[in-house]
Chains A and B, each alone.
Chain A
């Protein structure tokens, strides 16, 4: 049998495992992104009202991004051991939420900042209250850019999620880690392809969501 045929055979046998791990991976990344959005978007909007805080938070978030993921997991193990959650889902989840903050906060902040001052003035002139202005004018206009930030965060997190397998958080990384430990090419190749596909699919899907969320009038310049 050729290598390829053997690999197909391997896929056949392990399909349930692959599906399980994919579901785990998606659940981890999805949950982390959801929480990251709930924190990052309101924070990004709030930062447009406070320049000083904005520069502090954005600086902190960008330093956060330079911390290597394996090192962050490593640092979190002893910290979270205090509450007996040193390995597994919790540290992985926290790390992914933290990594997502920079793209989400930064994009929200710049998108709201960049809403045409003329449009904002017009909204004030029409007698809109701050909240109405935010939800009817500023957020819809900023939506494509905010979505682009979320998209970046999702694709990045799918990749980092692989590393989380080292600290027992499950997901497709398990196949790759096991593959390395057992020097099993089929596991490595399958895991890698699955994760790459997942990232590409997420990228394409979120790309179309981004397009769909773009107000018709903005399409040409976004």
Chain B
């Protein structure tokens, strides 16, 4: 038992050491120089990046949630598989293709980038919301009806709270992917930290590369962490998967 714990600790500290070593090495090589030399540009690019993610994610949530609720209503139940399959199919189209196709349709610019990111974020949120709503035990709905809840009360008091875990997981996945995908916005003139990454790749400029790539990575990890915290607040205690294990 003690030996197993020891191995695990060694591996854990090994990871930490690698990460620390990476940062030390990059600083020594001056690979983060852009962050200090061009702090203003960095702030601007980060702000653009966050704007792209925020606007497209909010739009995606605003569209995906209601449509998922709509297709799971009894009236539309029969057509639901069409939407779910379309969403599954959409997910196999590579991110880059979605972005590229948007250029041909909408031209270059921030709006195109937002729209492409939005399209790509809608799918996981929609899918997870539908899955969450469908996974609710029919007997719960029956009990709710039987005690005289109106349809909107069933939706807001029973269905959505019990699907919250799945919905939040979908939103988290979508936003974390979105942070990464937003780097491609550069390609369609949408700005963001991708500017430095792609400049770095093109010009073999490691400083530009890491000054863009490392902040994007940290943003993604931070977004994941914050959304997990939010999940903890939003998801009712009795419905968390660990609770039923």
Contact = CB atoms under 8 A, between A and B. Distances in A.
Pairing of A with B:
yes
Interface of A: 49-53, 55-57, 60, 63, 66-75, 77-79, 81, 86-87, 155, 158-159, 162-163, 166-167, 173, 176-177, 179-180, 183, 185, 188-189, 191-192, 195-196, 199-200, 203
A75 B201 CA distance: 10
Contacts of A55: 8
Interface in B73-110: 89, 92-101, 103-104
Contact of B94 (A81, A179, A192): A192
Nearest to A200: B92
Contact of A78 (B4, B31, B197, B220): B31
Given A50-B8, A74-B197, A176-B94, A81 B206 contact: yes
Given A68-B183, A77-B209, A176 B100 contact: yes
Nearest to B12: A56
A66 B176 contact: yes
Contacts of B204: 86
A183 B206 CA distance: 27
B213 interface: yes
B4 A50 contact: yes
B5 interface: yes
Q: What are the 5 closest A-B residue pairs judged by CB atoms, nearest first?
A: A68-B180, A192-B97, A74-B213, A52-B8, A78-B206
B184 interface: yes
B213 A185 contact: no
A159 B123 CA distance: 15
B69 to A, nearest CB: 27
B108 to A, nearest CB: 9
A192 B100 contact: yes
21 contacts: A68-B220, A69-B180, A70-B194, A70-B197, A70-B216, A71-B213, A75-B210, A75-B214, A77-B206, A78-B26, A81-B206, A155-B92, A176-B97, A180-B188, A188-B97, A188-B103, A192-B100, A195-B97, A196-B89, A199-B92, A203-B92
B168 interface: no
Contacts of B51: none
B27 interface: no
Given A66-B176, A192-B101, A71 B4 contact: no
B11 A66 contact: no
B58 to A, nearest CB: 20
B11 A196 contact: no
Given A67-B221, A183-B104, A192-B98, 14 more contacts: A49-B4, A50-B7, A52-B9, A68-B181, A69-B180, A75-B213, A77-B200, A78-B29, A162-B97, A173-B96, A176-B97, A180-B96, A185-B104, A192-B101
A53 B6 CA distance: 9
A78 B22 CA distance: 11
Given A71-B197, A77-B206, A192-B100, A66 B216 contact: no
A183 B104 CA distance: 8
Interface centre among B9, B12, B29, B94 (most CB of A within 10 A): B94
B130 interface: no
Contacts of B15: 56, 60
Contacts of A52: 4-5, 7-9
Nearest to B179: A68
Contacts of B201: 73-74, 77, 87, 166-167
Contacts of A79: 22
Contacts of B12: 56
Interface in B1-60: 4-5, 7-9, 11-12, 15, 22, 26, 29, 31
A10 to B, nearest CB: 14
A71 B97 contact: no
A188 B100 contact: yes
Interface centre among B96, B188, B213, B214 (most CB of A within 10 A): B96
Interface centre among A50, A68, A166 (most CB of B within 10 A): A68
B42 to A, nearest CB: 15
B180 A74 contact: no
Contacts of B216: 68, 70-71
A167 to B, nearest CB: 6
A66 B100 contact: no
